[in-house]
Amino acid sequence: MPFSKLTAPLAGLTLLLAAGSAHAIDLPSMQMPNLAGLAVGVTTECSGCKDTMVGLVPGVRYVTESGRLFEWYGPYAQYNFSGLTGFQWGPAINLKMGRSDVNDDVINKLHDIDTTVEFGGFVGYEYDNLHGIPYRFRVNANVMTNAGQVYDGARLNVGATLWVPLSQRFFIGSGVGATWASQSYVNTYYGVTDADAAASGLTPFHADGGNQQVIGWLGAIGQISGHWWGGAGVFMQRLMGDAADSSFVRERGDRNQLTYGAGIGYIW
């Protein structure tokens, strides 16, 4: 298959592993096929934690008869109301994981954070170059909130991605991004209350909003056989601002959050 019919759905195999961050996934052009896949990866138990866990995440990409694109990668899903190249927009939903029963005995004494559903919308612009050396470039942004169920306010994710073929059967991609979050969001996930401090021995910390993280990822995809393709990727989140300055991150966790893994997908 040509480059224009493969890169975006297979990019999802590597981006499955990063879906929990709610950064917008790559969106394909009109001619690209559908995808159903599964990925296994290693990531941290919570944002700011140091201990890791292994997880399985599904992925589905489906273009409707009317040409609208639905994508579901791990906890994040979006529906594109616009064209599959050029300007794109639509609603988005994300299952934001909480924090409880982690392996670190000290962090486990902090307040539990419930898992919650976030909702919002995304906008993006995609350019597919099919002349000369082909490539696919996309910029995107989404705004997510949970209407005060766990935190107040919202968070803004922005990013850019690039995919380039090395052959008809092998592709490489990369992306960068950043997140800005409300004071309530940052303090909920990274703050240490007086009660937390008394229970854990950590220094009390009240977090303000702002730039919460920057991200970068690298991925590769290749054809296994026929309709079956595989992908692998590594995704780095570096906590910034008060998220990085949190006493639980500095004393018991790590501001550098690494996720990596591999997936397999069937395209048609």
Predicted structure pTM score: 0.87
Distance CA 52, CA 109 (A): 18
User: 3-state DSSP call for residue 238?
Assistant: strand
Task: Name the 3-class secondary structure at 196.
Answer: helix
Q: What percent of the chain has pLDDT over 70?
A: 88
Residue predicted with more confidence, 199 or 221: 199
Interval 167-200: pLDDT, tens: 888 888 899 999 999 999 999 999 999 999 999 9
User: Which amino acid does the sequence have at 58?
Assistant: P
**pLDDT at residue 112 above 90?**
yes
Confidence at residue 224, expressed as pLDDT on a 0 to 100 scale: 92
Instruction: Give the pLDDT confidence score for residue 32 in this predicted structure.
Output: 53
Average pLDDT over residues 197-211: 97
Contact 134/4 with Cβ under 8 angstroms? yes
Instruction: Evaluate if residue 85 carries a pLDDT over 80.
Output: yes
Phi and psi based region of residue 163 (left: phi greater than 0; alpha: psi -120 to 50; beta: remaining): beta
CATH number at residue 174: 2.40.160.40
Domain count, the chain: 1
| C-alpha radius of gyration, the chain, whole number | 19
Predicted pLDDT at 21: 57
- So what's the pLDDT on residue 129? 87
For residue 229, what are the domain limits?
A: 3-267
Q: Mean pLDDT across the stretch 31-44? A: 82
